[in-house]
Amino acid sequence: QGKFTLLRDTRTDGSFLVHHFLSFYLRAGCKVCFVALLQSFSHYSIVAQKLGVNLAAAKEQGQLVFLEGLKSCLNLLFGEEEEQPGQPSPLQFLSGSRGELRALFDFVRASLAPGAQRSWRGPVLLVDDLSLLLSLGAAPVAVLDFIHYCRACVCCQLQGNVVVLVHSSEDSEDEENELVVNSLCHHSDLILWAEGLATGFCKDVHGQIKIIKRLSLWQAAEQDQVQIYQYKIQDRNVTFFAPGLSAAVL
């Protein structure tokens, strides 16, 4: 509890990590606020069913609060969003010039606030993916402020967890995105970095994942623990193995 986990992908799609954490926390009985900017609810629901989780039921029970970013963006841009008095759209920065994410943070805080209905095990904020906020016009400082306040609220005050996915590239010319990614790496308790194989496509090995435990974040004299595994994504699960020990090699 109280941890900030950064999911980072380079030359590959790290969405399988998002699906894992979503199903993991729902099965664990946690209250989850899912800011889904990349895909629709039906997409996440279909994948979750394969993992044995019913997202629709979780929404009805109040365990899952789902923000469908694609739908909200279209409604705001085409003027179809009906805002409630005192309750602006979480993505209202799209229609403003300031580009701040205060409304999105207020949505997260209200979604995970302790309620009198049913006590869940712990609050969790899941974002897929943070890089899209920059593409939608949010400033890098606003994105970093948003994550800072989410960590202060969810991790520190509520003793919950924050899990965020970002995209990165070594040769990217998107300086704003790389600035956000590098800043988040310095503040993360755990980094799961999925990378594509440098040798290219392989049907038996889809990529490698680097697990970085940020021990230096709390103890200055300690070095970060780094573990590297290769993985293969299957229909209902992901197989991990040490580098060079795939089924194709053995």
The reported pLDDT for the residue numbered 77 is 75
Q: In this structure, what token pair is assigned to residue 60?
A: 């009805």
The reported pLDDT for the residue numbered 219 is 79
The reported pLDDT for the residue numbered 128 is 92
My answer on whether omega of the bond before 145 falls inside 30° of 0, hence cis, is no
Does the domain formed by 3-76+90-241 have CATH 3.40.50.970?
A: no
How confident is the prediction along the chain (250 residues), in pLDDT tens digits per residue?
Answer: 889 999 999 999 999 999 999 999 999 999 999 999 999 999 999 999 999 999 999 999 999 999 998 888 878 777 665 555 456 788 888 876 566 899 999 999 999 988 755 678 889 999 998 999 998 888 999 999 999 999 999 999 999 999 999 999 877 778 999 999 999 999 999 999 999 988 888 888 999 999 999 988 777 778 889 999 999 998 888 999 998 777 665 5
Is the distance from CB of 107 to CB of 67 less than 8 angstroms? yes
The reported pLDDT for the residue numbered 40 is 92
DSSP state of 46: H
The reported pLDDT for the residue numbered 117 is 57
The reported pLDDT for the residue numbered 225 is 93
Q: In this structure, what token pair is assigned to residue 27?
A: 């099965």
The reported pLDDT for the residue numbered 100 is 80
DSSP state of 224: P
pTM of structure: 0.90
Domain limits, the chain:
3-76+90-241
The reported pLDDT for the residue numbered 10 is 93
SS3 of 160, please? coil
Is the distance from CB of 197 to CB of 204 less than 8 angstroms? no
